[in-house]
Amino acid sequence: MSKLAARPPLVERVAGWSARHKKTAVFGWLALIVAAVVIGGMASTAKKDSYDPGEAGRAERALHDSGVSQQSENVLVQSLSGASFATDKDFRAAVSDVAAALRAVPDVAAQVRSPLDDAAEGKALLAKDGKSALVAFVVAGDKDKAPDTVAKALKTVDQLQASHPGVRIEEAGTASVGKAINDIVAQGLQRAEFSSVPVTLFLLVVVFGALVAASIPLLLALTAVAASISLLAIPGHWLPISESTSSVVLLIGMAVGVDYSLFYIRREREERARGRSPREALRIAAATSGRSIVVSGLTVMACLGGLFLTGIDEFSGWSIGTILVVGMAMLGSVTVVPALLSWFGDRVDKGRVPFLGKRRTVARESRFWRFLMQRVVRRPLLWGLPVFLGLVALAVPAIGLKAKNSGGVDLTYGKPISHTLERLQTAFPGGPAPAQLVVHGDPQVLRGQQLAGAITSLRQMVPGGAQVTTETSADGHYLVVSVPLAGDGADSASAAALGDLRSRVLPATLGHVSGIDYNVGGEAAGQSDFSDRLHSTTPLVVGFVLLLAFVLMISAFRSLAIAVTAVVVNLLSVFASYGVVRWIFQDGHLEKQLGFHAYGGVVAWLPLFMFVILFGLSMDYHVFVVSRIRELRLRGVPTRDAVAGGISSSAGVVSSAAMIMVAVFSLFAFMPFAPMKMIGVGMAFAVALDATVVRGVLVPAIMSLLGERNWTLPRALRWIPGISLEKSAPPIPGRTFEPGRVPIG
């Protein structure tokens, strides 16, 4: 029994095994990465489609089952002289040439329609003032290949523009806007990927002062990201994994991968600097930082799991990807890092950088933080209250944060297609983003007079009814009706038109036809249903994350005060970042500097996504900092001295990790895509704020005010099981633990 009780915890045993079998651990990790890439490549043939929630999602599924093309395109033709279509021969010739050229490539364009076809179609495809005309078509072939197919159509339109210099000819539609957005994201992501590695390596060299030590966190992060992105192909068979998931995995993977290994390496070097043997230093690093990494990683993963509660396909993919990369980073940190430290030994300090090597290769307590902590714990109210009020001041504007998606014009800001969309919307209101009404029923019913009469009535009841078009599926079981909506698909005009269509027009028309069912999809419907689902599930996700964080803090530290402090300060950090995001992106400040176009809100998914990610990352720092304080407290150091000493010894590595994370996030602030800019700015600011004034001033001020009450737990909460998070490092004979000798008045 005594032997069992003396058995080291799992994290220490894993580190000890890795140190003894370093080649097996390192090459085993590399084999795991290679296997992940190979397996991911083999499993990537199948892909589950992602759909919007609610009625729009049902319409998307029905549209997919119908086989009717979802990719509608419009070629806008306008006379540069302002002449009318009826009187300008060059104008009419340009429209005729566009229609003929598109019909000549049936593998690219199908169902080509122009104002020259017949009277009814001509009226629908001509602007009211007669100065603009549309040639409409759908992208032929597989929808997954639509970006490549529409590129051929765009090339054809460009050639026609060159041959008709007196007429404006340009194309925009579902496929071309999607292609433009994909190109923008791919370009920005490639730039971010290219920049993140040298930026991260440079900052790690500044932190460690040695190339070898700096390379370990970077290589761990890169391999964890590569393996995770590859392995996403496996859950992609059952869960919808969007292309944006890879961007999110890169963002989070680089951040936590560097953080975790940085915490581990700095603690091992700190113990070596105190005179520990290499083996003992590694054991203590595993027992302290290693355990903190495991608990923090599991906490971040659990918080990210809260996104599943939304039931939104996009969030499910992000949740799977981020959980996977955090798990990989955590696994690598507690296995490969100790193996590499044992393998390299003193050679980890090789490649010292002039002016940095002597000062950085040995981890020491920060003089700045010790100087600051002495003053904070002596006068906690004087230091803590201004910081608290400042955070509240930043957080108050978040009350007015408006979560709504932007239209194609804003998403493609700075690209030629954004101007095309504006001109298209001006000339043909409702044209760029029509509602797609998918009707399902028996072929005889769909061909019947009752349904035909209902669609005629629908045309009479909606503005721009002449533009209503219908298409029947090959098997006759589906009828797809395109209904024009006012606005650009994302604004209040579109929302109002959609509401009128769903609540008034359809019940009065198709609602009287028996034997059919119908659902309304399209851009406006998708955004409306997405926002409704998000609004209804956000309280559930927030409650789950807050309760999880609270219970974890109780389990780890057996303290009500520490648990409540963690939840409150993390909420303050998140809402302060919301305030900054609102000031920049919703109110339109720094538009020119950051290269975006404000539309009076932020993307609908941003607040919840930022909340979950930032709360998880904030818990990461909180666990690490409070663990160092508790470690000193377990050695008998008074609470105020433990607060000062714990933060003095940990703030340096936390601020270093935060600096790297802020740099990675900031790269996304300069991507040419507004949603990624919002993520980059919001998360960079939140992490910088959290790792400096929150962990460096507010948390120690609160803990100093509470004193010994930090370590009490009410009887009513003692049923929550405890976990051993940290244990104190044994003292070195004849030496005093340095932070413990900082006298606090």
pLDDT at 219 over 80: yes
Could you tell me which residue, 55 or 269, shows the higher pLDDT?
Answer: 55
C-alpha span between 386 and 390 (Å, rounded)? 6
Which of 49-63, 154-168, 190-204 has the weakest average pLDDT?
Answer: 190-204
Quick: pLDDT tens for 410-422. 777 778 888 888 8
Strand ordering across the sheet containing 132-139: 109-113, 132-139, 72-79, 167-173
**pLDDT (average), residues 606-626:** 87
Q: Which residues contact 574 (CB under 8 A, 6 or more apart)?
A: 610, 611, 614, 615, 618, 686
- CB 542 within 8 Å of CB 324: no
Band (pLDDT 50/70/90 cuts) for residue 740 is: very low
pLDDT at 548 over 60: yes
Compute the half-sphere exposure of residue 727: CA atoms within 13 Å on the CB side of its CA: 11
pLDDT of residue 356: 61
The amino acid present at 378, given as its one-letter code, is R
pLDDT of residue 279: 86
Q: How many CB atoms lie within 10 A of CB 626?
A: 29
**pLDDT (average), residues 725-731:** 50
**pLDDT (average), residues 378-395:** 94
- CB 478 within 8 Å of CB 65: yes
Could you tell me which residue, 327 or 360, shows the higher pLDDT?
Answer: 327
Largest CA distance in the chain: 101
Band (pLDDT 50/70/90 cuts) for residue 4 is: very low
Mean pLDDT of the chain: 84
pLDDT at 71 over 50: yes
Band (pLDDT 50/70/90 cuts) for residue 706 is: very high
pLDDT at 395 over 60: yes
Quick: pLDDT tens for 443-496. 898 888 999 999 999 988 988 776 787 888 888 899 988 888 877 677 788 888
C-alpha span between 491 and 524 (Å, rounded)? 8
Q: Is 212 exposed, middle or buried (0-12, 13-18, 19+ CB in 10 A)?
A: middle
**pLDDT (average), residues 313-339:** 91
pLDDT of residue 70: 67
Which of 197-206, 238-247, 250-259, 341-350 has the weakest average pLDDT?
Answer: 238-247
Q: Going from the N-terminus, what domains does the chain have, and what CATH number goes with each?
A: 1-45+209-364 (1.20.1640.10), 67-187 (3.30.70.260)
**What is the DSSP secondary-structure string of 247-288?**
HHHHHHHHHHHHHHHHHHHHHHHHHHHTT--HHHHHHHHIII
**pLDDT (average), residues 713-739:** 62
**pLDDT (average), residues 298-325:** 88
pLDDT at 122 over 50: yes
Band (pLDDT 50/70/90 cuts) for residue 580 is: very high
pLDDT above 90 coverage of the chain, percent: 25
pLDDT at 537 over 90: yes
Strand 132-139 relative to strand 469-472, pairing: unpaired
- pTM of the prediction? 0.83
Q: Which residues contact 568 (CB under 8 A, 6 or more apart)?
A: none
pLDDT of residue 46: 62
pLDDT of residue 731: 53
> Minimal CA–CA distance to 616: which of 263, 257, 291, 301?
301
Could you tell me which residue, 145 or 609, shows the higher pLDDT?
Answer: 609
Q: Is 152 exposed, middle or buried (0-12, 13-18, 19+ CB in 10 A)?
A: middle
> Minimal CA–CA distance to 427: which of 126, 154, 161, 160?
126
Q: Which residues contact 345 (CB under 8 A, 6 or more apart)?
A: 278
pLDDT at 36 over 60: yes
pLDDT at 646 over 60: yes
pLDDT at 5 over 70: no
- CB 698 within 8 Å of CB 573: no
pLDDT of residue 742: 41
Coil vs helix vs strand at 722: coil
